[in-house]
Chain A
Amino acid sequence: MRSIVERFSVQTGHDTEMIDITDRVKEIVAGTGVANGMALVMTMHTTTAITVNEGLEDLEDDITEMLARLAPEGRDYRHARFLHSDGQMAVNAPSHLKGALLGMQFVAPIADGNLVLGARHTIYFVELDGPLERQLVIQVLGAE
């Protein structure tokens, strides 16, 4: 069995943004030459998320609005202070909470060299505290 780890970056442009990374993930998986196995997609940041849903703009808007309702700005969050380890103000508790709600990984099988996805599955990288350049990791496990 082989284990291949690939990294790629995404430059986001907004505070909150759902970015379709399906084709990028498929391309990376295909490039590994693994025919049967599984792929893990993971974001390296706790104020981002990976989620899968139907690739429709209205659903993207509904999801981001839902997140804003569940983790609104302006509440009495504890994570609102100077963070000495960064030298920055840590004032993005809602971004962290939204990330916790959506999760930061996605796993899909690989069969016959293709990523196995439902017909309506779109893999999203979700920016929750942008704009920033973000890093993602894909690990492919399997056999050629």
Chain B
Amino acid sequence: MIDFHTYPAQIAELIETDPDLPGAIADVFGLYMGPQPLATYLGHLDEAGITQAVALPLDCRSAHGTTVFSNEQIASLMERTDRVIGFASVDPNRADAAEQLVRDAEEYGLRGLNLDPALQRFDLTDRDLAYPVYAAAAELGIPMMVRCGINWAPKGLSSLGRPLLLEQVVHDFPELPLVIPQLGWPWVDDAIMLAVKHRNVYLDTSVIFSGTPTESLRHVVETRIGRELFDRSIPRQVLFGSSYPRVDPKRAAWAVGELGLRPKLERRIFHDNAAALLFKEAN
């Protein structure tokens, strides 16, 4: 099982390397829990049956004057455990963002790009600032996660992360795998429309808004999407994501398991689709 969506925001061994990180995690992400040892993070993965997890950093130096994990820090986490799949983040508001993405992805072996327009405060359709970053990701052949939907961070402006803003981007970068987390909630229809139409648009299951992950996911899948749509139209485009530490991976995994999907589809969501995207495994 691969978790496509975790932030290493509670890992003590990482946080202790940078005295600015505790404040940045609280101020930018709005996460106020104390740190835990790396053993806890790995224990969470074990308890959920997860073998590897994507670790996401965020570069929001222009908007908030900080990174919440630099690419280098993610690389240092990868040195501590081979169960972490590191992504990069760059700040599209900075002129050197595309160049930095290429450099860091190659130097540190980072396998994807994470962007969060709501927190990084950029326009997804900006051809001058954002498009060079998209082009660099496409050139690198790495997936790009764009945090769309509700943004729980206090400083996040969710309106900047409406999935429909990505429509022109998808048209302009048809080879760039683009991941929309949390099924785009509350703009589920927009996210589904993009995924149904475009094979390079992926959705992750980390939807949480009220109730347990099981309740949130079931509500969205059964009343907004229709369970059959996953199987019929986008079986290779749905990824398991927990959104840790907003929610614990075990409950996020239970939520997918309790949907009662066909075993082949469930296997794809839990593993095969992510493995194809990250490691080019056959699917």
| A positions within 8 Å CB-CB of B | 11-15, 73-74, 80-82, 85-89, 91-92, 129-133
The answer on a CB contact under 8 Å between A88 and B245 is yes
Q: Is the interface of A mostly helix, strand, loop or mixed?
A: loop
Whole-angstrom CA separation of A15 from B254 in the bound complex: 12
B250 close to A15 (CB less than 8 A): yes
Q: Is B159's beta carbon under 8 Å from chain A?
A: no
Contact in complex: A13, B46 (CB < 8 Å): yes
Extra A-B contacts (4), CB below 8 Å, given A89-B247, A132-B43, A133-B40: A80-B212, A86-B33, A87-B246, A91-B247
| A-facing residues in B204-263 (Cβ within 8 Å) | 208-215, 245-248, 250-251, 254
Instruction: Enumerate chain B residues within 8 angstroms of A14, measured Cβ to Cβ.
Output: 43, 47
Q: Contact check, A80 vs B40: say whether CB atoms are below 8 A apart.
A: no
Residues of chain B having any CB pair with chain A under 8 Å: 29-33, 36-37, 39-40, 43-44, 46-47, 152, 208-215, 245-248, 250-251, 254
Are B47 and A131 neighbours in the complex by a CB distance under 8 Å?
yes
A129 to B211: give the CA distance in the assembly, Å.
Answer: 17
List, sorted by A's number, 11 A–B pairs whose CB atoms are closer than 8 Å: A73-B214, A80-B211, A81-B211, A82-B210, A88-B245, A89-B208, A89-B246, A89-B247, A91-B247, A131-B47, A133-B37
Count A-B pairs with CB separation below 8 Å. Answer: 72
Closest 10 CB pairs of A and B: A131-B43, A87-B31, A87-B30, A91-B212, A89-B247, A80-B211, A89-B208, A80-B212, A87-B32, A13-B43
Closest chain-B Cβ to A110's Cβ sits at a distance in Å of 32
B40 touches A131 (CB 8 A): yes
Contacts of A133 in B (CB 8 A): 36-37, 39-40
| C-alpha spacing A16/B192, complex, angstroms | 37
Docked complex Cα distance between A11 and B36 (Å): 10
Residues of A within 8 A of B210 (CB): 80-82
Cβ 8 A contact of A91, one of B33, B37, B211, B245: B211
Of all chain A residues, the one with the shortest Cβ separation from B213 is: A91
Question: Taking CB as reference atom, which chain B residue is nearest A79?
Answer: B212
Known: A11-B37, A80-B212, A130-B43. A85 touches B32 (CB 8 A): yes
| Chain B residues within 8 Å of A11, by CB | 37, 39-40, 43
Chain A residues closer than 8 Å to B39, beta-carbon distance: 11, 131, 133
Instruction: Specify which chain B residues have a CB less than 8 angstroms from the CB of A131 in the assembled complex.
Output: 39-40, 43-44, 46-47
Distance from B72 Cβ to chain A, minimum over Cβ atoms (Å): 25
Please indicate the chain A residues that have their CB under 8 angstroms from the CB of B33 in the complex: 86-88
CB distance from A109 to the nearest CB of B (A): 34
- In this complex, the member of B29, B211, B212, B213 whose beta carbon has the largest number of chain A beta carbons within 10 angstroms is B212
Minimum distance in angstroms from B1 CB to a CB of chain A: 16
**Which residues from A are CB-within-8-Å of B248?**
92, 129
Q: A96 → chain B, closest Cβ, in Å?
A: 13
A132 touches B211 (CB 8 A): no
Residues of B within 8 Å of A15, CB to CB, are 47, 250
- Complex Cα distance A12/B42, Å? 11
- Report Cα–Cα, A42/B40, bound state, in Å: 21
Closest beta carbon of chain A to B232's beta carbon, Å: 28
CB distance from B152 to the nearest CB of A (A): 7
Complex Cα distance, B209 from A81, in Å, reads 7
Chain B residues, CB < 8 A from A86: 31-33
Query: How far in angstroms is the closest Cβ of chain B from A8?
Result: 14
A92 to B211 alpha-carbon distance, docked (Å): 10
Q: Note all chain A residues with C-beta closer than 8 A to B214.
A: 73-74
